[in-house]
């Protein structure tokens, strides 16, 4: 049975206000092309689009050759089109490299698989469709007909994409996968203030609201998406940052709050670490985060 994905009750209404209303597929691709002309625009939110219209849009996108990523919420009749701008791509790729480098340093490169921006569709059209920016998981997850085929990690970046929208995506990935997806890392760029905001979302068990309740539903804990950690990186050097020559940018001018970023080994690798083999949680240090910020900007 497909997992029930309910996003709308838990998000701010402002997060789902569409940029455009769907009329037809040809017009939508013209609107996407118009959005590409702004180098700071990495998203287009499309409202009033049905499942059939979304599938027709997908088919046309394949015919034209993919140049965007899509995220569809049928219960809201809403489509988020991600436009891969330079800063958007740097943000998620640098974050992914930070994580993958630690995995490689533990000698586990052969046990990790990169799924990129692959499309993931839960069973049935009611749950929607998602394409992450970067994703990956243990190579033991191989069977595409098994729920466990979902990767354990997905990274979503945003420039013009709002943080509330990125949070919608985080909740969807965890819920739509029936919590086979374990970690979602959001990387939000705030160009005006030269700030990078990172949120790590995971599934945690929620306890019954009424202690001692006897019903089956109340007596069992359930998974729910939660923010496990936040990291903020802010440029404090000469402004504006984007006009500051590279040779005048130093790591110390990127102030980091909330480091280190720690991802649980068992969440990513589907098994406990073996300390005797040098295995441990994935720890992204303050210096490594500063280097990431330097490369993103």
User: What pLDDT is stored for residue 14 in this prediction?
Assistant: 58
User: What pLDDT is stored for residue 143 in this prediction?
Assistant: 60
C-alpha span between 250 and 228 (Å, rounded)? 29
Specify the fold of 84-296: tt1808, chain A (3.90.1570)
User: What pLDDT is stored for residue 149 in this prediction?
Assistant: 79
- Quick check: 220 pLDDT over 50? no
The band of 265, judged by pLDDT with boundaries at 50, 70 and 90, is very high
The structural domains of the chain, with segments of one domain joined by +, span 84-296
- Quick check: 57 pLDDT over 70? yes
User: What pLDDT is stored for residue 295 in this prediction?
Assistant: 97
> pTM score > 0.85 for this model?
yes
The band of 125, judged by pLDDT with boundaries at 50, 70 and 90, is low
Higher-pLDDT residue of 67 and 136 is 136
Share of the chain above pLDDT 70, in %: 87
How far is the CA of 12 from the CAs of 165, 208, 210, 224, 253, in angstroms?
Answer: 9, 25, 27, 18, 34
Share of the chain above pLDDT 90, in %: 78
- Quick check: 1 pLDDT over 50? no
Angle made by CA atoms 11, 265, 204, in degrees to the nearest 5: 35
Q: Which two structure tokens, joined as six digits, stand for 203? A: 């599934």
Average pLDDT over residues 265-269: 98
The band of 218, judged by pLDDT with boundaries at 50, 70 and 90, is very low
Alpha helix stretches (DSSP H) within the chain:
25-36, 51-64, 86-105, 163-176, 216-219, 265-269, 286-296
């Amino acid at each position: 049975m497909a997992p029930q994905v309910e996003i709308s009750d838990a998000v701010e209404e402002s997060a789902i206000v569409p940029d455009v209303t769907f009329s037809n597929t040809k017009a939508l691709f013209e609107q996407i092309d118009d959005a590409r002309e702004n180098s700071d625009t990495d998203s287009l939110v499309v409202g009033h689009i049905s499942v059939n219209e979304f599938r027709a849009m997908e088919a046309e996108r394949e015919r034209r050759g993919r140049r965007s990523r899509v995220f569809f919420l049928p219960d809201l009749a809403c489509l988020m089109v991600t436009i891969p701008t330079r800063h958007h791509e740097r943000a998620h790729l640098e974050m992914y490299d930070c994580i993958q480098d630690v995995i490689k340093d533990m000698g586990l490169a052969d046990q990790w698989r990169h799924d990129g921006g692959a499309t993931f569709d839960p069973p049935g059209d009611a749950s929607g469709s998602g394409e992450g920016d970067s994703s990956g998981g243990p190579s033991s997850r191989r069977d595409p007909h098994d729920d466990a085929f979902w990767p354990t990690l997905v990274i979503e970046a945003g420039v013009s994409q709002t943080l509330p929208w990125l949070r919608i995506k985080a909740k969807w990935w965890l819920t739509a996968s029936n919590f086979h997806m374990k970690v979602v890392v959001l990387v939000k760029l705030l160009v005006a203030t030269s700030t990078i905001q990172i949120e790590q979302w995971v599934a945690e068990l929620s306890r019954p609201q009424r202690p001692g309740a006897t019903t089956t539903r109340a007596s069992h804990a359930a998974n729910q998406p939660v923010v496990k950690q936040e990291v903020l990186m802010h440029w404090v050097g000469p402004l504006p940052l984007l006009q500051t020559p590279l040779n005048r940018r130093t790591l110390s001018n990127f102030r980091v709050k909330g480091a280190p970023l720690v991802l649980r080994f068992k969440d990513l690798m589907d098994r406990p670490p073996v300390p005797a083999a040098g295995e441990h949680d994935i720890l992204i240090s303050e210096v490594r985060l500063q280097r990431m910020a330097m490369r993103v900007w």
